[in-house]
Structure 1
Amino acid sequence: MDKKLKIYLSFVYLISFSIFIILNYKYISEFNLINVIFLLIVIILVNNFSMFFNSMTEITTSMNLPVLIPAFVVLNPFWVGIIAAIGTIEYTAKNMKFVWYKFLFNRSVFFLAASTAALIFRVVRPILDGDSFPMLSILSAILIYFLINNTLVYIVINISREDVNKFSLLNYFRELSKNLITSYFIGLILLASYINFGKVFFLLIIVLLFIIKDFFYSRLQQMNSYTQIIESFLKVIDSKDHYTEGHCERVAEYTYHLCGEMNLSRAKSERIISIAKIHDIGKIYVDDDILRSSNKLTKQEYSDIKEHTQYGYELLKDIDILNNDLDIILYHHERWDGGGYPEGIKGDKIPVGARILAVCDSLDVMITGRSYKPPMTKEDIIEEFEKCAGKQFDPEIAKEMIKLIKKGFFDDSFKSKEKIREMELSYS
């Protein structure tokens, strides 16, 4: 063990022991055995059997701090520190070698953080809250708990892990603090249930929170699966049609901006954007010679390629996670005036996602061009949308797309195509 680490750990042990002796002398006889045992058992259980939120980052929110919040109110600082130190032992950890100084450090940190926070709560409650519900004094206590706990851990990480880049204390706290507000409000709920309705209701609230946790975690897993499916199909599309490689991703990007301009809900926008990424999946059933043809399509070839919307729908309809939004794929070549395919539906009968996709799909074709059709300028594209609004496109959606183009959202796409054209001319 590094000498600096030994000194630091010894300092933490000494401070913790000193606080233990002081609080022990003052508060050891002041306790309710039932509350101590009950809260100790609860924190042991929640610490060892689940984390509350599994976030998209590596930071997780445990239930330790929310359960300690009622302890701040009903127990004195000494016993709060004791249940924090003992209750946070991970009894269920497997295949982990016991290291005494790490174990002692963790116990010391939890005791120091919890007991000091409980002491602060006692001091500030009469000043901040008086006889009312202790929202502000609880907030003060958890901030102290948060700062002590995470500062001590931050220091030991930076001393012991010389093989990694030192990370900013500010960044460290910024990442961890994302879940502090969650712990605060969960703790207030638990405190209110404990004080007003008793221990049984308190336990029921915890069970309900874990049910909610499991629901959101399953939804997160579902979203991850959804993303993986989309990305896999996107690779299939790009490998099949090299000429339009990247087309679906660009259309999805345009869709993202257009949904934002239309102020659609986040959930609806995300579903439309995800479908946009694979809107041409049906082309895997279209003959390669047609997809790669550099000539204008014949009537028969055009008829064949029109089938890709139906092919895409049939391919994906048995995937439960996707089938609610497949009408976007099926109808994204329908026209506002009814002249599109596959069914010739018109106006509001076309799903809004398909109407959005029709505009974004056409935008990419206009910007990139085809072998038989050169790219269009920004001004020409605006003119084309104005001309086709109410005919090919939903007039309101076309208007929103024109706004985006005029605001310069897609200027980088125009510039990249201009550079490519300049390079082609220089080599010709």
Structure 2
Amino acid sequence: MDKNLKLYLTTIFTAAFLVFLRLGSSYIFDFALNEVLFFTAALLILSNMSMLFNSISKVITSMNLPILLTTFVVLNPFWAAVVSAVGTTEFKTRESGFIWFKFLFNRAVFFLSAAAGALAFNFTQARLGESGFPFSALLAASLIYFLVDNILVYIVLYLAENDIKQTSLINYFFELSKNLVTSYFIGIILFASYIYFGKVFFALVIVLLYVIKDFFYSRLQQINSYTQIVESFLKVIDSKDHYTEGHCKRVAYYTYHLCKQLGLSKTKSEKIINVAKIHDIGKIYVNDEVLKSSDKLSNTQYQEIKKHAVYGYQLLKDIDILKEELDVLLHHHERWDGTGYPDGLSEKEIPIGARILNITDSFDVMTTGRSYKAPLTKMETIEELEICSGSQFDPEIAAEMIKLIEDGHFDNNFLREDLISEYQFSIEY
């Protein structure tokens, strides 16, 4: 163990011990055993069964603050801190086994954080003199608890792990702040249920919140699984043809802007964008000589490469999580006038996602060019979209794409020859 880490741990243990003595001397005999046992049991259950995982910091955050907010009101700072330290004990089996200094560190941090939060509640309550529901005092307690807890944890991670050094303190707190907001409002609900309806209702609300949390967590896991599948297929595409991977990423970027321009919902847009990232996955089944040919394709070669939409559909159709969007992948080469492939769909028969993808896919081809054809200029691209509007492209969607180009959203495509092949973007509405 690094000597700086040893010094830090010693400091935390000493601080927790001193605070324990100081608060204990004032409050140790001022408690109701049934309240202490009830909150400790509730916290033990929630700490061991309801976790939130933070991907950036790789920290598992137990949802204990909502329960602790009620203890800050019902118990004094010493016993609130004791409940926090004991109630957050995890009984889950870990592969690494029991590590005593980690266990003591966690207990010390929870004790100090809860003590600080409880004192902040008392101080704010005394200063503001809130006669009704203590929203402000609970908010102050939440903020202080959050800051003390996560600063102490960030420091130990910084000293112990190299990974966290890649994450700034601002990013670390930004991610965890989402838990703070959620915890505060859940804590308000729990406190109200305890004050107005008693312990039984308090316990029932915890069960209900756990069920709701599990539902949303399972949805989050599904989204993460979808993302991992898409990223895995991008790697497969890249192993077959690096240009195709870059093309898919660029098309996804254009698709994001066009979906936003069209005012599609976030959910609908995400589905279309995710398909855009892997819309050419079927090309992994196309002969390398055809796929990487630097010459204009012969009719036979063109007929072969046209099969990639069906190949991609066949490859992905048995993956349940992708089924809903596969019509977009299958039909992204259909034309508005019905002369496209594979099924010759026309106009509104073509899924809107496929109509969008047809335009963004073609736009990338126009602006990157081929070995046998130079990329188009900005005006030439607009003219090409206008010419093909109503024949290849949905005229309404083409008009919106032209607006994006005219407004300068994709000017880099026309200013540089070495087009950027990787875009980092997020959906914001």
CA distance in 1, matches of 2:273, 2:235: 16
> Offset at 1:382?
0.8
What residue is the counterpart of 1:349 in the other structure?
A: 349
CA distance in 2, matches of 1:163, 1:323: 36
> Offset at 1:388?
1.9
What residue is the counterpart of 2:373 in the other structure?
A: 373
> Offset at 1:332?
1.0
Q: 1:308 to 1:89 in 2, by over 3 A?
A: closer
CA distance in 1, matches of 2:287, 2:387: 33
The letter of the residue matching 1:208 is: L
What residue is the counterpart of 1:84 in the other structure?
A: 84
Determine helix, strand or coil for the equivalent of 1:61: strand
What residue is the counterpart of 1:334 in the other structure?
A: 334
Say whether 1:261 aligns with 2:256: no
What residue is the counterpart of 1:307 in the other structure?
A: 307
Identity of aligned residues (%): 59
What residue is the counterpart of 1:45 in the other structure?
A: 45
What residue is the counterpart of 1:138 in the other structure?
A: 138
More displaced 10-residue stretch of structure 1: 163-172 or 141-150: 163-172
Q: 1:243 to 1:47 in 2, by over 3 A?
A: closer
The letter of the residue matching 2:55 is: M
Q: 1:190 to 1:310 in 2, by over 3 A?
A: same
The letter of the residue matching 2:54 is: S
**Larger of the two Rg values belongs to structure:** 1
> Offset at 1:313?
2.0
CA distance in 2, matches of 1:288, 1:159: 50
CA distance in 2, matches of 1:164, 1:116: 25
What residue is the counterpart of 1:277 in the other structure?
A: 277
Q: What are the Cα deviations for residues 93-135 of structure 1, in whole angstroms up to 9, with x where unaligned? A: 54444436x6555434433332332233233225536232211
Q: 1:408 to 1:76 in 2, by over 3 A?
A: same
Q: 1:293 to 1:115 in 2, by over 3 A?
A: closer
Q: 1:292 to 1:188 in 2, by over 3 A?
A: same
Q: 1:336 to 1:158 in 2, by over 3 A?
A: closer
Equivalent positions of 1:279-428 (< 5 A) are 279-417=279-417
Unaligned runs of 5+ in 2: 421-429
Determine helix, strand or coil for the equivalent of 1:417: coil
Question: Is the Cα contact below 8 Å between 1:129 and 1:135 reproduced in 2?
Answer: no
Equivalent positions of 1:216-227 (< 5 A) are 216-227=216-227
Question: Is the Cα contact below 8 Å between 1:59 and 1:175 reproduced in 2?
Answer: no
> Offset at 1:384?
1.0
CA distance in 1, matches of 2:185, 2:379: 53
CA distance in 1, matches of 2:228, 2:140: 43
What residue is the counterpart of 1:424 in the other structure?
A: none
Q: What are the Cα deviations for residues 289-337 of structure 1, in whole angstroms up to 9, with x where unaligned? A: 4334444444444334333323322232221111111111121111222
What residue is the counterpart of 1:196 in the other structure?
A: 196
Determine helix, strand or coil for the equivalent of 1:246: helix
> Offset at 1:381?
0.3
CA distance in 2, matches of 1:228, 1:9: 37
Q: 1:258 to 1:127 in 2, by over 3 A?
A: same
The letter of the residue matching 2:31 is: F
CA distance in 2, matches of 1:234, 1:7: 46
Equivalent positions of 1:170-249 (< 5 A) are 173-241=173-241, 244=244, 246-249=246-249
CA distance in 2, matches of 1:137, 1:333: 60
Unaligned runs of 5+ in 1: 421-428
What residue is the counterpart of 1:423 in the other structure?
A: none
> Offset at 1:83?
0.9
More displaced 10-residue stretch of structure 1: 356-365 or 374-383: 374-383
Question: How high is the TM-score relative to the length of structure 1?
Answer: 0.85
> Offset at 1:232?
3.2
More displaced 10-residue stretch of structure 1: 77-86 or 281-290: 281-290
CA distance in 1, matches of 2:72, 2:22: 18
Q: What are the Cα deviations for residues 10-64 of structure 1, in whole angstroms up to 9, with x where unaligned? A: 665555445434443443343222211110111122223341x223322443122
CA distance in 2, matches of 1:317, 1:39: 50
Determine helix, strand or coil for the equivalent of 1:336: coil
Q: What are the Cα deviations for residues 259-302 of structure 1, in whole angstroms up to 9, with x where unaligned? A: 22223222221211111122122333444443344444444443
Q: 1:96 to 1:295 in 2, by over 3 A?
A: closer
More displaced 10-residue stretch of structure 1: 396-405 or 119-128: 119-128
Say whether 1:65 aligns with 2:69: no
More displaced 10-residue stretch of structure 1: 341-350 or 131-140: 341-350
CA distance in 2, matches of 1:166, 1:226: 26
What residue is the counterpart of 1:426 in the other structure?
A: none
Question: Is the Cα contact below 8 Å between 2:368 and 2:419 reproduced in 1?
Answer: no
> Offset at 1:416?
3.4
Determine helix, strand or coil for the equivalent of 2:321: coil
Question: Is the Cα contact below 8 Å between 1:125 and 1:137 reproduced in 2?
Answer: yes
CA distance in 2, matches of 1:242, 1:117: 54
> Offset at 1:406?
2.1
Question: Is the Cα contact below 8 Å between 1:243 and 1:292 reproduced in 2?
Answer: no
CA distance in 2, matches of 1:293, 1:299: 13
Question: Alignment RMSD, CA only?
Answer: 3.3
The letter of the residue matching 1:252 is: A
Q: What are the Cα deviations for residues 52-91 of structure 1, in whole angstroms up to 9, with x where unaligned? A: x223322443122111111112222222122112222334
Determine helix, strand or coil for the equivalent of 2:264: coil
More displaced 10-residue stretch of structure 1: 297-306 or 187-196: 297-306
How many aligned positions are there? 418
Question: Is the Cα contact below 8 Å between 1:282 and 1:309 reproduced in 2?
Answer: yes
